[in-house]
Amino acid sequence: MACVFCRIAGGEIPAEVIAREDGATAFLDVTPLADGHVLVIPNVHVGRVEDLEPDTAAALFRAVHRIVGPIRAAVGAEGTTIGINDGAATGQTVPHVHVHVVPRRTGDGAGSVHSIFPHGTRQELASVARAIRSQLERA
């Protein structure tokens, strides 16, 4: 059976869809973190960001770019936290790529992306950068 987000993209199960675009669908999260909490998904089933085809990745971010302003205006928010849980280790519960678009207000009690990580890391920047550049050369 197709995953829940595939079924929403295909119109097989109900959702508060706000936009259906070429390659991407945006709908309200059923357990919103704030009014106007929207999920934007690729219309094809892909579990991880790195496995998206480039055109699909572009369509996904094009949809985010198009809807973020209207969402903020609709709920009278001042800002937006935009995030992806990518992989089970991050808390991703639905294994179909989805971008959380969460309207924010000053003093709403939620933190920044930095607040997710309580400890940070002390690894030397240069060696981490070298390792990533080396992987990029192979990709």
**Which H or E run contains 4?**
helix 4-9
Site string for Zn ion, 32-61 (x = CB under 5 A): -------------x----------------
Question: Rule CB under 5 A: is residue 7 a binding residue for Zn ion?
Answer: no
Question: Rule CB under 6 A: is residue 4 a binding residue for ligand AMP?
Answer: yes
Binding partner at 45 among ligand AMP, Zn ion, none, C-beta below 5 to 8 Å by kind:
Zn ion
| C-alpha–C-alpha distance, residues 105 and 124, integer Å | 35
Structure tokens at 78: 């001042």
| C-alpha–C-alpha distance, residues 58 and 84, integer Å | 15
| C-alpha–C-alpha distance, residues 27 and 54, integer Å | 22
Question: Rule CB under 5 A: is residue 96 a binding residue for Zn ion?
Answer: yes
**Count of chain residues binding ligand AMP (CB under 6 A):** 11
Active site residue 100: no
> Cβ contacts of residue 111 below 8 Å, gap of 6+?
none
Q: Which of 74, 94, 116, 132 binds ligand AMP (CB under 6 A)?
A: 94
Shorter beta-carbon distance to Zn ion: residue 13 or 131: 13
- Among the listed residues 30, 52, 29, 50, the one whose alpha carbon sits nearest the alpha carbon of residue 42: 52
In the set 37, 45, 96, 98, the catalytic residue is 98
User: Which residues contact ligand AMP by CB under 6 A?
Assistant: 4, 15, 29-31, 39, 85, 91-94
- Catalytic residue positions? 98
